[in-house]
Structure 1
Amino acid sequence: MKPRGRRLWRLALAAVLALPAASVLVVLLWGLVPPPVTWLMVMRSIEDGVGIDAPWTPYDDIADVMKRTVVAAEDARFCSHHGFDWEAIEQALDRLNSGRSLRGGSTISQQVAKNVFLWPGRTWTRKGLEAGFTVLIEAFWSKQGILEMYLNVVEWEPGVYGIAAAARHHFDTTPDRLTARQAALLAAVLPNPLEWNAGRPGGYVSSRAATLQARARSVRPADMPPCGR
């Protein structure tokens, strides 16, 4: 092989090896300090022309009822899986095979991987990267850290990210003062926050919130961080 060809192969190999190393480093970094913004926030801002309202709230300053409700709504087996809820994935595929729309199956950990480190999309490349980042955050972050990140980066309305901005925007309150009903309304809109409004809920959102409020009462301490670790 000619010297130029060997150099190109070495550069390609270095690039392949650098990607996993860079991924580990950025996961470690955001495990220590909150990210100022995420890719999703930046892309939404560019696409929709809205600002980014995303103040950070430490885990202990978020009402316990909000934590319980979002786990009940988004990932009931959050404490018992290691990033992937295979039972939920199987149920989602069963719905697809029966002719219904594919929904559900993504854990809170997967949603954090997608929202913090990646761009919106449904390509196999992005799904593969999502799986890789899910493994990394489960390996290097605590369950409490994952849930804290989720509650601080999830989108609740265009330009409104995280529980502090959502609590103020929809209910003129702070994350530590959210009531059970307010927490349920916020959790109820998470599947479609760009269309549904927690502060002005329609009939479906109001009904779903009532269901989630009841479901949250059954969430046991063992189902919440620190998850017995």
Structure 2
Amino acid sequence: MTYAVRLSDISHGFRRQNGVTQVARQISYDFEKGKSTALIGRNGAGKTTLLRIISGALRPNAGAVLRNGRVSWPVGFAGSFHGDLTAAQNCRFSARVHGADSETLIENVRTMAGLGRHFHEPVRDYSSGMRSRLAFALSMALPFDTYLVDEVTSVGDANFRKTSQQIFKDRIKSASAIVVSHNLDQLRQLCDRAVILEEGTLFHFDNVNDAFTYYRDKLFA
């Protein structure tokens, strides 16, 4: 099996008032290349944190992440934008970083995000939903080998949700993906397999339905 992303003995935790919350406990796991994997877990289990570790935006306390090809930032996490710049200026900066044509990228993102006149206003003035739409459009407009997605296709109105899901389906025909969502129907459509993050451990399932059955029974036991 060729991996898209390999986690090697990843450990990570947060120190809080009532102690340490452990997100990962020596996790070793290969996300298979060319497959879409659902990442499932309770609220607060650490799914978004794990995506940030996989993307390289967050360094784990221990262990290593090996990436086979270009991995996107977590789509839905818009913390990488410079707030004083407009969406267009942020796109131009990303084009330079990733070696893309600036004007083509800007036009593709402008059309996909559907932000209207706000596309030329500072990102600091955006709502969280607008930032998520921009993050989604920018990541889809750039070619990645593995896409990381954090609930982003739930953002916006019905038309945007439908459009974004179709765009994402098209991208993963030739790429890998790790998808966080609480929407079972969406995960069934997008993912080949699933992992559950529970108390710092990943549990693998070859079938998304089996993962949700296990998750539901454990959650409501």
TM-score tier by shorter-chain length is under 0.3
The higher radius of gyration belongs to: 1
Query: Which of the two has greater strand per residue?
Result: 2
Query: Which of the two has greater helix per residue?
Result: 1
